[in-house]
Amino acid sequence: MAGSRSGPPVKTGACPCVADLLDYAQGNIGSDDRQRIDTHLTSTSCAYCRSWIAKGAKDPTPAPVAGPAKWQRSAAFRELERRLQNLEECS
């Protein structure tokens, strides 16, 4: 049972990616993705996803600005990595 485990919550195969959860927490996600995450949270009460949403709500960092595709992907990855490190330091 998940409630009896010690340690951090565990991700399941049905969990959205962390980037989507952070965008969800900050209101930067499309309606289809928001509905998908809402459904996941309602049907599973997923502690893993709820923990990332709570962390994301504490991090007001805006998403990277759009640019050329290759630069945008690497910049987005670096920005996500930085945001995750900041969240880990806050925990």
Q: The pTM is what?
A: 0.59
What does the block give as tokens for 63? Answer: 């998403």
| Tens digits of pLDDT across the chain (91 residues) | 444 455 667 888 889 988 889 899 988 889 999 999 999 999 988 999 999 999 888 866 555 555 555 555 667 777 887 888 777 766 5
Rounded distance between C-alpha atoms, residue 52 and residue 22, angstroms: 7
